Amino acid sequence: MMGKARESSKKKTQSPNKKTPKSSSSSPKKRKTLDPSPAIAENPNPTSISVEKPQESNSVVEMGTQKPELKNPFAKKPKVDLNVDEFVANLKIKPAKFDPNLAAWWGDGDKVPFLFLARAFDMIKGESGRIVITDITCNVLRTVIAKTPDDLLEVVYLLANKIAPAHQGLELGIGDATLIKALAEACGATEANVKKLYKDLGDLGDVAKEIRSKQSMMRQPPPLTITKVFNTFQLIAKASGKDSQERKKNYIKSLIVAAKDCEPVYLMRLLQAKLRISLAEKTLLVALGQAAVYSEEHSKPPSDIQSPLEEAGKIVKQVYSVVPVYDKIIPALLSDGVWNLSKTCNFTPGVPIGPMLAKPTNGVSEIIDKFQDMVFTCEYKYDGERAQIHFMEDGSVDIYSRNAERNTEKFPDVVAALPRFKKPSVKSFILDCEIVAYDREKQKILPFQILSTRARKNVKMSEIKVDVCVFAFDILYLNGMPLLQEQLDVRRKHLYDSFEEDCGYFQFATTLTSNDIEEIQKFLEASVNASCEGLIIKTLEKEATYEPSKRSNNWLKLKKDYMDSVGDSLDLVPIGAFHGRGKRTGVYGAFLLACYDSNNEEFQSICKIGTGFSEAVLEERSSSLRSKVISIPKTYFRYGDNLKPDVWFEPSEVWEVKAADLTISPVHRAAVGIVDSDKGISLRFPRLVRLREDKAPEDATSSDQVAEMYRSQANNPHRKTKDDLEEED
């Protein structure tokens, strides 16, 4: 399939600028067209690369009869300058007309230069349309598949700004201080100078490029390759123990010294895990599917597929939602193709999937309207930590958070008790559940704040002070059988048949199946009295499959306190603050909050908040954020010109916030361009609920969600334009 495509691609001409000379050599190894390993010319910011040109041969010999040529090891090979710009420019060609050989200046099987990816990043950064970004990314992937398929996995990881699957917990863990020190030492600058430039430019990548471009070197290190960069990132992430920070710094220096052109910009951004080029992972997955289709020149899609490119993108996204591991997906794509991907990559215990999420709703009547002629069920919405519990056939257990973080060490009591709850016939399973702080003496659910006092790692059974209860509401896998495509009523029966309840330790979520408004209203009241947040309403028998990583219309959430307003709280990121006055002198008096736009990788201001803080909480949050102060706003902050906080923050915290309603704003930029072409959306009367320690800034409420919440409000002029703002499929 794709392997055949690669063979055929090698028969094509390379570039109108540089033809591949014919060779008389019959060595088992294919002669490389161009060798990028020789040193780049002394210019520290080149667009041309000097490479050794292969010797041409006019000899014609029958296949299998050619003898090895005798070569003079001291003979100088002529060099030719390649204009990288001309190669990279081809990435903008529409995929249907794109020839991968025209974008690559390296030979078949040679390691992909990091400059190729850095230039692609630069090109993508300059675009705003998702279709164009998808096309460029598709062409990048096709070029790698055609020339150096062995590098595809590493290229995909770098495009995703990752170095490993989320559940492995392998992160670079590098702060700006280490990067500044490494940059200063690598370039012969002072840390003070680097910090000043950082303050002026606001982007450490731009700082690296500025300093590196002015540095001359007696001898240039070999050009960076994708493999070199990725492997070094792995070494950095795995460095531990004594002198680990020093080793990390030295690894970083080795990359900086070899970086050319725009490479320093993207090395720094990758090391910060903040690429900021508006390449969302969903777009990458679509591009990967399309690249696979174009590369499968000898394999046709199934006859029932009318739009292969669109379908391939959906397949890759769907497979990644249940197997979020590129190490499995990429080899399967290369060996068996995209049309077999769903068969070759299967959902199994030990690899967490993104949880299915619910959309907010304002009241019971809205639920009845949305689920007309459908059987639906209501469940208590518990105020704890969403957890995915994996029980393997060998008896081992892993517990994952909603962000795929391994929380097994946080809940040793749950791990120890699990065998007691499952029935003997159960050999393996994956549960979707909520772990809640619980008072077993009073048989009462405790607030989330109590649960958050538990240590995050290395919890010892003897030191546990906060007991927990597991409230299970779904089962996704049982005894070797994935259940994601089963309807909820089937999954629920498997759940009930496979486990025994133990009050205060393991219980099923409390449920009600009814379409009677009065009954649902009473059930909502009962959930609040039971210390729950409200209800989750789910389709039961139809359109009731489990949709990983998706906020689905088939799950709705109803919270008591905001039934007559926005219907849900928002998770927002503080990006700035205003100094307090009067009683609040010495602390921040108000904060500028933002939602997150994943498509453009930017934080968009949504409100100022100064209520909901006790004196202790205000002091705590002010103290925590003082260490995150930055001199100028990040380039990926979007806010009105009239908004001028006294200080700006590095995005680091997520706050749960409630508000009376949402309104169109000329000042704030949340969801700008979605509901109104020029104006954003802001919150009226926001107040702080709590700190969300289980969420990263990029997990904050999205701009699409903000727009949807605005549209779903009663009595706003935009409501009839669209019932729901759908997420990407």
630 forms beta bridges with 648
Of 428, 40, 531, nearest in space to 258 by CA: 40
> In terms of C-beta density within 10 A (0-12 exposed, 13-18 middle, 19 or more buried), how is residue 569 classed?
buried
Helical (H) or strand (E) element with 48? strand 48-52
Assign 3-class secondary structure to 334-372. HHHCHHHHHHHCCCCCCCCCCCCEEEECCCHHHHHHHCC
Q: Which residues contact 25 (CB under 8 A, 6 or more apart)?
A: 31, 57, 66, 68, 69
Of 653, 659, 720, nearest in space to 688 by CA: 659
The strand ranges marked E within 250-403 are 357-360, 376-381, 385-391, 397-400
Alpha-carbon separation of residue 546 from 432, 476, 508, 554 (angstroms):
11, 8, 18, 10
Cite the active site residues. Answer: 381
Give the rounded distance of the alpha carbon of 96 from its chain centre.
Answer: 28
Of 92, 79, 94, nearest in space to 18 by CA: 79
In 589-699, where does DSSP find H-type helix? 615-626
Q: Which residues contact 242 (CB under 8 A, 6 or more apart)?
A: none
Produce one character per residue of 236-266: b if its CB has 16 or more CB atoms within 10 Å, e if not. Answer: bbebeeeeeeeebbbbbbbbbbbbbbbbbbb
Of 721, 724, 654, nearest in space to 689 by CA: 654
The answer to whether 291 and 334 are in contact (CB under 8 A) is no
Amino acid at 686: P
The three-state secondary structure class of 669 is coil
Alpha-carbon separation of residue 668 from 565, 642, 706 (angstroms):
20, 9, 12
Helical (H) or strand (E) element with 327? helix 326-336
Query: What is the spatial distance between Cα 482 and Cα 476, in angstroms, rounded to a whole number?
Result: 6
* Torsion angle of C-alpha atoms 191, 197, 201, 203, degrees rounded to 10: -20
Q: Which residues contact 420 (CB under 8 A, 6 or more apart)?
A: 502, 505, 506
Long-range contacts of 56-63 (CB under 8 A, 24+ apart): 56/21, 56/22, 56/23, 57/21, 57/22, 57/23, 57/24, 57/25, 58/24, 59/24, 60/24, 61/24, 61/26, 63/26
The strand ranges marked E within 543-653 are 551-559, 570-579, 588-597, 602-609, 629-630, 637-638, 647-649
Query: What is the spatial distance between Cα 86 and Cα 334, in angstroms, rounded to a whole number?
Result: 28
The answer to whether 396 and 451 are in contact (CB under 8 A) is no
The answer to whether 468 and 435 are in contact (CB under 8 A) is yes
The answer to whether 418 and 391 are in contact (CB under 8 A) is yes
The answer to whether 258 and 225 are in contact (CB under 8 A) is no
Q: Which residues contact 98 (CB under 8 A, 6 or more apart)?
A: 90, 91, 139, 142, 294
Measured from the Cβ of residue 479, the count of other Cβ atoms closer than 10 Å reads: 12
The answer to whether 371 and 521 are in contact (CB under 8 A) is no
Query: What is the spatial distance between Cα 141 and Cα 130, in angstroms, rounded to a whole number?
Result: 16
